[in-house]
Amino acid sequence: FEYDFKDKKIKIPFKDILYIETVGSAYKLNLVGKNFQKEIAGSLSDVLEKDVEERYFSPHQSFIVNRSMIIGMDKKKKQLLLKEGYSCPISRSNIKRAKKLIEEQNLEFSA
């Protein structure tokens, strides 16, 4: 994962990132990964725009997740289940997209 925002550059191995979420104020992102958490300046839309390989999935307007970290879905709780015991919300409008992604990756989901 390489990200530039207003002349600040950050490099983190993509395989180590679980998800990225927005933080309270505008243009602040929280990168959550294996054994780390880092706050950076930026926007989710900018990250998704630069994601030409489509490595991320946006289950909610405040989150993007590393597709390779998804292990399942709890449809009742509207949560995407991630490795390392993490989860993130799925908006009602993205439930079908999330279910399709889970099925494509042959992962489990509970009703």
Structural domains in the chain (count): 1
> Per residue in 2-17, pLDDT tens?
666 566 777 788 888 9
DSSP for 47-70, please give it.
Answer: HHHH-TT--EEEEETTEEEEGGGE
- The residue-averaged pLDDT of 37-59 equals 89
Q: Give the pLDDT band (50/70/90) at residue 42.
A: confident
Among candidate residues 36, 39, 25, 111, the one with its CA nearest the CA of residue 76: 111
> Per residue in 50-100, pLDDT tens?
888 889 999 999 999 999 999 999 989 999 999 999 999 999 999 999 999
Residue 111 has pLDDT above 60, yes or no: no
Helix or strand or coil: residue 101? helix
Tell me the residue range of the domain where 10 lies: 2-110
CATH of the domain at 77: 2.40.50.1020
